[in-house]
Homo-oligomer: A and B are copies of this chain.
């Protein structure tokens, strides 16, 4: 089983990287870029075969380590 975790900054939290990318895209001549936000994408291969258990485990991983819930949101998606 594989989990796909998206970690994104909460709205209102400053995103220096996103801002810089937007700026750089502008100077590269890409017009019409209104906003850029950069987050993380983490893929986890798990031995667990049970979807429910796998999901619960990955959520715990996010709470405990993968996301800093003061500034970040996360979503968990299971594939395979």
Q: Cβ of A6: which chain B residues have Cβ within 8 Å of it?
A: 41
A36 CB, min distance to chain B CBs, angstroms: 5
Contact between A42 and B37, CB atoms less than 8 A apart: yes
Q: Cβ of A57: which chain B residues have Cβ within 8 Å of it?
A: 30, 32
A73 CB, min distance to chain B CBs, angstroms: 12
Counting CB contacts under 8 A, is A65 at the interface?
Answer: yes
Counting CB contacts under 8 A, is A28 at the interface?
Answer: yes
Counting CB contacts under 8 A, is A79 at the interface?
Answer: no
Q: Assuming A39-B41, A40-B39, is B47 touching A32 (CB within 8 A)?
A: yes
Counting CB contacts under 8 A, is A66 at the interface?
Answer: yes
Contact between B44 and A41, CB atoms less than 8 A apart: no
